[in-house]
Structure 1
Amino acid sequence: MAKVAFVGLGVMGYPMAGHLAAKGHSVTVYNRTAAKAEAWVAEHGGASAPTPAEAARGAEIVFSCVGNDDDLRGVTTGAGGVFETLAPGAILVDNTTASAAVARELSEAARARGARFIDAPVSGGQAGAENGVLTVMCGGEEEAYARAEPVILAFARACRLMGPAGSGQLTKMVNQITIAGLLQGLSEALSFARKAGLDGEAVLEVISKGAAGSWQMENRGKTMLADAFDFGFAVDWMRKDLAICLGEADRNGAALPVTALVDQFYKEVQGMGGGRWDTSSLIRRLTK
């Protein structure tokens, strides 16, 4: 069992930290809104701290899960951040979906302190976090990863080291590029089925067992047909992630024409008031 800290108790971080406590780890939490940290302690035990630095004091592993690159810098290298107290030999595991550049930056900052950094973005959404079945893609050094992996598995069903610092974030970009294309294809397919006069649920039942099958089809197809989107991974978050993907593509020369187009489709959904709808709400554009 490890002494750990968890910085950021949003819809993902709150249950992830809970799984760490349930597995017997000693957990100290920090959240920008202190009341949420107090609620977490009331539910799971452990302790809360007034700053990321105080949460990280004495921790063997510090987890962070915040909004974006700037938020991440704020809780790590900013005033009162994790790096003020991160001990030599400790590991910072960042579960934020952020840029590969900030991952490399924080890896160097950790190394300068004699600590280590792992970028470890997750896939599986709020339900995956609540059920402890996330997929975690990691970038960092093998020795640090080997120490962190058993602890990460408290909230994950799959975890893999993909390469050096930044590789986890790059893999998450691949994940989001894939999902964007899948959801647009599924939206068009289900809209076509409706226009063709087919029973949408019957169509899903048949084609999900063949080559067209996917997690998105199995888990979002019926809710898309039901026009239900008040759950899941928000469009606002997806656009943030796709901006990271498109920015990285500008740097590495990858062509992402479909991703760029779907990003604009999500912008339309935001204009419809759907910023907090699930990403499967792409179909709304075709049925409005």
Structure 2
Amino acid sequence: MDRERIGFIGTGVMGSSMARNLMRAGYPVSVYTRTKKKAQALLDAGACWASSPAELSKEADVVISIVGYPKDVEEIYLGAAGVLSVKKGGAVIDMTTSSPALAKKIFAAAKEKGVDALDAPVSGGDIGARDASLAIMVGGEKEAFERYRDIFAAVGKNVRYFGAAGSGQFVKMSNQIAIASNMLGVAEAMAYAKKSGLDAEAVQQTIAAGAAGSWSLTNLAPKMLAGDWSPGFFIKHFLKDMRIAIESAEEMGLDLPGLKLSKKLYDELSVRGMDDCGTQAIFRWYTEK
């Protein structure tokens, strides 16, 4: 059976692995990114290059994007020379963590063009992207989700449909809210263990196997203790997500003090010039006074 031709926009820390996994699953893939050299490894592996989102969309059955910010998503899909200016039929799937309101706007614009639109943000970081084990949270029409389920299966393991357009983004905000407070807890636990004079690595291994266990404690606490600030997920993007979550919560009349505290501490790291560090660099707030 012929696979859909995929147009993939965004080949950063996660996008490059996701595009590669689609190629491994047998999908023909074309890529676009603002800096072509960032896509060179994919081009060497057999991906085709497109010089713009509009060019990419002309030949693609399905356009997938995972980029940095909602403004980038809006430009890609709704800009004068964006995907929906030329897309006829097929589907667009935005996997960026973005605004639920923007997801609804893209869905409406795509509907007018006869194009399926799904918002499908992901969780799992660089490891999940590499291993095709991402959690994928999908909003849009159920029929479209079922139609492109095999595409999701090529990049993720925990794939779930949640409802109308914007639903995927609401779920991702719930995910980021949970991570925000958890990251503080993990960093504080490791800082406490070190300050107590304990073998912090042994503490991490022990408590990760108990009730305190979490993905961040298992995967990011060892990086904290090793002083490894390389990004699986950038602080600058996490700050963007927290801003969206806070704004969305306020629109619903919900106060989230834990999320606001986490954002405040990450804002301080941003001021120190740590935007391009991984989120585990919150540990430095506790150890570099």
TM-score above 0.5? yes
- 2:209 matched to which residue of 1? 209
Superposed CA RMSD in Å reads 1.5
2:51 aligned with 1:45, yes or no? Answer: no
After superposition, give the CA deviation of every residue in 1:61-83 in whole Å (9 maximum; x if it has no partner): 11011121111111111122111
Counterpart mapping for 1:171-186 below 5 A: 171-186=171-186
Contact 1:75-1:82 at 8 Å conserved across structures: yes
Give the stretch that moved more between structures: 166-175 or 263-272: 263-272
Unaligned runs of 5+ in 2: none
Counterpart mapping for 1:137-152 below 5 A: 137-152=137-152
- 1:56 matched to which residue of 2? 57
After superposition, give the CA deviation of every residue in 1:43-96 in whole Å (9 maximum; x if it has no partner): 2213222221121114221101112111111111112211122123x1110011
3-state SS in 1 of match to 2:103: helix
- 1:12 matched to which residue of 2? 14
Contact 2:7-2:57 at 8 Å conserved across structures: yes
- 2:130 matched to which residue of 1? 130
- 1:82 matched to which residue of 2? 83
2:286 aligned with 1:286, yes or no? Answer: yes
CA distance 1:174–1:162, shift in 2 (3 Å): same
- State how far apart, in whole Å, the 1-side matches of 2:12 and 2:206 are: 37
3-state SS in 2 of match to 1:137: strand
Shift of 1:127: 2.4
Which amino acid in the other structure matches residue 6 of structure 2?
Answer: V
Contact 1:30-1:50 at 8 Å conserved across structures: yes
After superposition, give the CA deviation of every residue in 1:142-184 in whole Å (9 maximum; x if it has no partner): 1000011111211112211111110111111111111111110
% same residue: 39
Contact 2:69-2:237 at 8 Å conserved across structures: no
- State how far apart, in whole Å, the 1-side matches of 2:257 and 2:225 are: 27
- State how far apart, in whole Å, the 2-side matches of 1:193 and 1:67 are: 35
- State how far apart, in whole Å, the 2-side matches of 1:42 and 1:224 are: 34
Number of residue equivalences: 286
- 2:73 matched to which residue of 1? 72
TM-score, with structure 1 as normaliser: 0.94
Contact 1:58-1:86 at 8 Å conserved across structures: no
Counterpart mapping for 1:110-259 below 5 A: 110-259=110-259
- State how far apart, in whole Å, the 2-side matches of 1:129 and 1:172 are: 16
- 1:29 matched to which residue of 2? 31
Which amino acid in the other structure matches residue 70 of structure 1?
Answer: K
Contact 1:233-1:278 at 8 Å conserved across structures: yes
Shift of 1:40: 4.5
Shift of 1:131: 2.3
Contact 2:191-2:287 at 8 Å conserved across structures: yes
Contact 1:22-1:44 at 8 Å conserved across structures: no
- State how far apart, in whole Å, the 1-side matches of 2:157 and 2:187 are: 29
Contact 1:3-1:59 at 8 Å conserved across structures: yes
3-state SS in 1 of match to 2:220: helix
CA distance 1:267–1:41, shift in 2 (3 Å): closer
Shift of 1:41: 5.1
Which amino acid in the other structure matches residue 47 of structure 2?
Answer: G
2:263 aligned with 1:263, yes or no? Answer: yes
- State how far apart, in whole Å, the 1-side matches of 2:277 and 2:55 are: 35
Shift of 1:265: 0.2
- State how far apart, in whole Å, the 2-side matches of 1:176 and 1:224 are: 19
Shift of 1:230: 2.3
3-state SS in 2 of match to 1:250: helix
Unaligned runs of 5+ in 1: none
Contact 1:191-1:287 at 8 Å conserved across structures: yes
Contact 1:59-1:87 at 8 Å conserved across structures: no
